[in-house]
Amino acid sequence: MASRARLVGQGVAIGLVALLFILLAWSLLTDEGGGLKSAAARGDRPQAPDFTLERLDEDGDLRLSSLRGKAVVLNVWASWCVPCKEEAPFLEQVWQDNRDRGLVVVGLDAKDFRADARRFAKRFALTFPLVYDGPGDTIDGFGVTGFPETFVLDREGRVVQAFAGAVDGDDVRPRFVAAIERALET
Amino acid sequence: MTRALAIAAVLGALVVAGPGAASAAPPNAADLEAELVCPVCETTLDQSNAPVAEQMKTYIRVQIAAGDTEQEIKDALVAEFGPQVLAEPPGGGFGLLAWLLPLGALVGGAIAVGLLIRAWTRRAAPPAADERLDPELDRLVDEELARFDG
């Protein structure tokens, strides 16, 4: 009886240790999007994770992969984010200047109230498509660590370049525009 | 053993009943801020001064003033930010696991301890009457001892 109980105890302990190892390996192997940005920085053009999110600017959903064939500027923002307010007019201008060339600017509002996001869009007269991810589950796949972050995707949905922080600054703007040109060329 | 299982079952019932019992309390902003998580910094709202946390605190106060119940406010915030906005996991669905797994570990541990105690006490018990020496062997031992003494 005692040896049986000991065997059961040992089995349970070994099982728990094995489970912990599996969890550790899984957490190490499943990259939370951090690799996406570093791969883009190396020029590898990794595939952007697809998503389907509800739209803020109109009814229905928007699926990222439905935009294949167009270059995409995916801007992750929130109404409470100060640099997002500063870059919003610039992004609207980029959309207006390039939409006829096959560029779509998509605003992905995350970790925010829908009502606040809509007020933000109205205040800055944003006309490009806006999607909503309140819990922020989607942005984990992109490795977003702060707001705003912007991803320039080519016509095949691959990440040409990622930008952490606002893209309207004098030092960033030329690199951002160059990334858009590369994305449109694909 | 049975008593330990009964205690574990009562503790488990209290744990599972906890979230439901709490939702009946009248809305209190401070209580709600301690029960809701900032989606950016992932601490409870009362520990956070992140902009989104401040917006959530304002929302809570506005909704309390509007007469919303605690549960209505929580439901509205879950609809915006997802179930992870709740500091305590919900009592149903996948969230139920968070309550049941510790309970399962408690019951499992109680059973394991009970089995071990049972095994140890059996090993230490004195030999039963039928395990004593054979009468013939017993007589021979007595004779040998008598010879040794004599």
- For residue B49, is pLDDT > 90? yes
* Domain coverage including residue A173: 32-185
Q: Look at residue B95 in the predicted model and tell me its pLDDT.
A: 60
CB contact under 8 A, A135 and B52: no
Instruction: Enumerate residues 101 to 160 of chain A having a beta carbon within 8 A of any beta carbon in chain B.
Output: 111-114, 116, 134-137
Chain A residues whose CB is inside 8 A of the B55 CB are 80, 113, 116
Give the per-residue pLDDT at A88.
Answer: 98
Tens digit of pLDDT for each residue in A83-100?
Answer: 999 999 999 999 999 999
ipTM associated with this complex: 0.77
Is B51 in Cβ contact with A81 (below 8 Å)?
Answer: yes
Closest CA to A84 of A110, A46, A53, A113: A110
Do residue A153 and residue A119 come from a single domain?
yes
Mark whether A79 and A167 lie in a shared domain. yes
What number of CA atoms fall less than 13 Å from residue B96's CA on the CB side?
Answer: 5
The candidate with the shortest Cα–Cα distance to B18, out of B42, B40, B35, B5, is B35
Instruction: Please tell me the predicted confidence (pLDDT) of residue B37.
Output: 97
Predicted confidence at residue A182, as pLDDT, reads 97
Residue B80, number of CB atoms within 10 A of its CB: 19
| Alpha-carbon span A161 to A153, nearest angstrom | 7
CATH of the domain at A173: 3.40.30.10
Whether residues A155 and A74 share a domain: the answer is yes
Q: Which residues touch A62 (CB under 8 Å, ≥6 apart)?
A: A52, A53, A55, A106, A129, A131
pLDDT of amino acid A53:
98
- Chain B residue numbers touching A116 (CB-CB < 8 A): 55
Instruction: For residues A22 and A86, state if they share a domain.
Output: no
Report the domain count for chain A.
2
More confident residue, B106 or B35: B35
Same domain (yes/no): A8, A59: no
The whole-angstrom separation of Cα B91 and Cα A158 is: 41
Residue B123 with chain A: CB contacts under 8 Å: 2
* Residue of chain B whose alpha carbon sits nearest to that of A82: B51
Percent with pLDDT over 70 in chain B: 69
Which pLDDT score is estimated for B129?
57
Task: State the pTM of this model.
Answer: 0.69
Exposure string over B97-131, b if 16+ CB within 10 A, otherwise e: eebeeebeebbeebbeeebeeebeeeeeeeeeeee
Q: Which residue in B has a C-alpha nearest to residue A9's C-alpha?
A: B112
Question: Do A14 and A93 share a domain, yes or no?
Answer: no
| Residues, chain A | 186
The pLDDT value given to residue B7: 55
Residue-range domain boundaries for chain B: 2-119
Residue B148 has pLDDT above 90, yes or no: no
Judged against a pLDDT cut of 50, whether residue B22 lies above it is answered with no
Distance CA A149, CA A133 (A): 14
Do both A40 and A65 map to the same domain? yes
pLDDT of A29 reads: 60
Q: What is the pLDDT of residue B126?
A: 61
Cα gap A76→A60, rounded to integer Å: 19
CB contact under 8 A, B116 and A5: yes
Are residues B119 and A2, on separate chains, in Cβ contact within 8 Å?
A: yes
**Burial (CB count <10 Å: 0-12, 13-18, 19+), residue A140:** middle
CB contact under 8 A, A1 and B118: yes
The owner of tokens 């004195």 is: B126
Instruction: Say whether the peptide bond before residue A174 is cis (omega within 30 degrees of 0).
Output: no
CB contact residues (below 8 A), chain A span 13-72, against chain B: none
- In this structure, the answer to whether residues A4 and A80 fall within a common structural domain is no
Class of domain B2-119: mainly alpha
| Unique residue bearing structure tokens 């229905």 | A60
Report chain B residues whose CB lies below 8 A from the CB of A12.
Answer: 108, 112
Residue B16 has pLDDT above 60, yes or no: no
Min mean pLDDT across A16-25, B8-17, B49-58 is at: B8-17
Show residues of chain A in contact with B59, CB under 8 Å.
113
Read off the pLDDT of each residue in B2-20 and give the average, rounded to a whole number: 52
pLDDT in tens, B85-127: 999 876 666 666 666 777 888 888 888 888 888 888 876 666 5
Check A113 against B116: CB less than 8 A apart: no
Same domain, A145 and A107: yes
C-alpha to C-alpha distance for A64 and A138, rounded to whole angstroms: 11
Whole-number pLDDT of residue B20:
47
The Cα–Cα gap between B93 and B106 comes to 21
Residue B120: predicted pLDDT: 83
DSSP secondary structure letters along chain A: -HHHHHHHHHHHHHHHHHHHHHHHHHHHHS--SHHHHHHHHTT--PBPPP-EEEESSSSSEEEGGGGTTSEEEEEEE-TT-HHHHHHHHHHHHHHHHHGGGTEEEEEEEESS-HHHHHHHHHHTT--S-EEEETT-HHHHHTT--SS-EEEEE-TTSBEEEEEES-S-STTTHHHHHHHHHHHHH-
Which of A1, A112, A114 lies at the smallest CB-CB distance from B119?
A: A1
Neighboring chain B residues of A113 at a CB cutoff of 8 Å: 55, 59, 80
Q: Judge if A23 and A67 occupy the same domain.
A: no
Which of B81, B118, B119 is closest, CB to CB, to A134?
Answer: B81
Flag residues of chain A having pLDDT under 50: none
Tell me the shortest Cα–Cα distance from B10 to chain A, in angstroms. Answer: 25
Q: Tell me the residue length of chain B.
A: 150
